[in-house]
Structure 1
Amino acid sequence: MMTTRRNFIKKTGLGLAGAYLGSSLLQACTGSIPKGQGPFGNIGLQIYSLRDLLFQDPKLTLQTVAKIGYGHIETFGMDLTSNTFWGLSIPEVKKIMADVDLKTYSGHYDMSRFLSRHHTTDKENIEKYIETAHELGQTYVIAPVTPMDDLNNLKVEDYQYAAEQLNKAGEIARKAGIKIGYHNHFWEFRNFANGTKGLDIMIAFTEPDLVSFELDIYWIEKSGLSPQSYFQKYPGRFPMWHIKDMDKNYADPIVGKEYDSLPFDSIQNKVRFAEVGSGNIDYINIAQSARQAGLEYAFVEQDDIYMSNKFESVKKSYDYVQKFLVK
């Protein structure tokens, strides 16, 4: 019988991946530091950090994340057509996570068209996202990014529209006991003519009881601003943080006149990430503002991992958080 291309890939590629993952698992879990208490003690992982491994072997990847010590994950990548995550049905995801006592309180769900004032009819199915979040036991449905059509031409009106859309989603979500949130990058900190920034507009135009914000600490720092300044300005609006570090050799800001008109592709060579505690961001100081921010859940995330053993990378970040950020 002829072997199909799909079966061949499954038998060879995934078999090799499984062997690699297995050895990585053993190395990554050696000497893990026990979990502490609070948002940092019960640190989560934005599972996007391990996306390549996740799509190769989602079960083993989630098992390894739990063995390292992470108490919960933040999901991404729901396929609305098949109602799956990473090739797994939602019941399968729940079963794997339950078996290793891994929880999920938050998920990233694509809302780029829903937030775009240029898409009037082809909006994402927010109700389906809320239904899925409820089934997974999540508290937050997060919009991970603004509409990406033309980042250099986002206007005040675009941010105002996005804010109103988030309010609408928040009203729907509230009926199901779910909250809506928004996750930033760097372009939300670009200045408009009056000095206003996109994130400030979104915060000002959203209702605190309907919409929360997930502050990506890396991107606000990479914008030349301090997270503490936003915690002081908007106390209680940031119940979620993304924690990742900045390579010390790539610490210059990428927001300002020199950069704001450049396409993202031309800025990427000035961006490089690092494991938490090994870079340029003073997390010990930032963590002191957790209560002012309203922090409930913190997630390690690394957009790109450069270590050959990616499990070892997220373990390194986990161990630093446990050792230095847990009170």
Structure 2
Amino acid sequence: MLKIGLQLYTLREELEQDFEGTLRKVAELGYAGVEFYHYFDRSPAEIAALLQETGLVALGAHRPYDTLLNETEQEIRYNLEIGNSRVIVPYLTEEQRNWEHVAADFRKIGEACKAQGATLLYHNHEFEFTEKNGELTVFDSIFASVPADLLEVELDTCWAYYGGYDPVEYIRNYAGRLPVIHLKDMKKREDGSAETVVLGEGEVPLHAIIEAAAAAGVEWAVVEQDFCSRPPLESVADSMKWIQTYAAQGGKVHV
């Protein structure tokens, strides 16, 4: 059974205005965990206290590649103090995509994480599937270049789908190295670009993804909507309603 979390980037404007109040609302909506992307100048003790108050679990944190590379020990320590053991590289800019350097950096950061009881993960967008490094997709080449005990997978299933690959197949391929997936829906605009939407309102095969993730031993499915056409809190509430309906029908999610 997958536990359901929320990537807080979806609520970035709300968090800027009311960090504590927004986290309380996330808990009230039924999300079990949150994935951070920013700490909003709060100390580890302040965030840990808020998590304890709300019952939310810190399931991971997206942190900039350069920050994890240059402030490795501080980042690991901060996350462990809030109860989070997963630090996640969320994106690589075009300038950062020297794959030999990236692999070496990931090994270095991964070793530091492992030494302190934390884990490094990498989160994809679509370019890792539409671009190649040699004969492999960039996605596969990254994980082939770094040992599994130093780098785990956070598969954004929507971007894998948009990149032209079957997210179900990738979940099966990376079973055992895949503790977290991003559960996201999208539909294509007339120009072919992706519009992220509330779960169940797009074309991503969410049921098959959840079934495959549960079978692969994935722990967390993290809801994320990059951009919302209606108020973000309303959007994440509606995505949770979709999950609750799916759970009531026997879906393999814990709510």
TM-score for the superposition, normalised by structure 2: 0.90
Q: Which residue of 1 aligns with 2:57?
A: 103
Instruction: Name the CA shift for 1:250/1:204 in 2 (closer, same or farther; >3 Å).
Output: farther
Q: Which residue of 2 aligns with 1:221?
A: 161
The offset of 1:175, in angstroms, is: 1.9
**Structure 1 residue corresponding to 2:24, chosen from 59, 63, 68:** 63
Amino acid at match of 1:199: F
The offset of 1:313, in angstroms, is: 0.6
1:200 and 2:140 correspond: yes
Q: Give 3-state SS (helix, strand or coil) of 1:312's partner.
A: helix
Q: Give 3-state SS (helix, strand or coil) of 2:70's partner.
A: coil
The offset of 1:194, in angstroms, is: 4.7
**Structure 2 residue corresponding to 1:187, chosen from 127, 131, 151:** 127
Q: Give 3-state SS (helix, strand or coil) of 2:6's partner.
A: strand
CA contact (8 A) 1:110 1:124 kept: no
Question: Max radius of gyration: which structure?
Answer: 1
Q: Give 3-state SS (helix, strand or coil) of 1:272's partner.
A: strand
In structure 1, runs of 5+ residues without a counterpart are 1-37, 78-84, 115-122, 253-269
**Structure 2 residue corresponding to 1:141, chosen from 87, 94, 99:** 87
CA contact (8 A) 2:180 2:220 kept: yes
1:150 and 2:90 correspond: no
CA distance in 2, matches of 1:53, 1:235: 35
1:297 and 2:220 correspond: yes
CA distance in 2, matches of 1:235, 1:101: 28
The offset of 1:289, in angstroms, is: 1.0
CA offsets, 1:227-250, max 9 Å, x none?
A: 122233333222111111102546
CA offsets, 1:95-149, max 9 Å, x none?
A: 22221111202111111476xxxxxxxx421111110111011121101112x14
Instruction: Name the CA shift for 1:161/1:239 in 2 (closer, same or farther; >3 Å).
Output: same
1:324 and 2:242 correspond: no
Bigger proportion of residues as strand: 2
TM-score for the superposition, normalised by structure 1: 0.71
Instruction: Name the CA shift for 1:193/1:72 in 2 (closer, same or farther; >3 Å).
Output: closer
The number of equivalent residue pairs is: 249
In structure 2, runs of 5+ residues without a counterpart are none
Instruction: Name the CA shift for 1:101/1:246 in 2 (closer, same or farther; >3 Å).
Output: same
Over the aligned positions, Cα root-mean-square deviation in angstroms equals 2.0
The offset of 1:251, in angstroms, is: 9.4
Instruction: Name the CA shift for 1:306/1:248 in 2 (closer, same or farther; >3 Å).
Output: same
CA distance in 2, matches of 1:286, 1:93: 32
Q: Which residue of 2 aligns with 1:126?
A: 72
CA distance in 2, matches of 1:160, 1:315: 41
Q: Give 3-state SS (helix, strand or coil) of 1:174's partner.
A: helix
Amino acid at match of 1:75: F
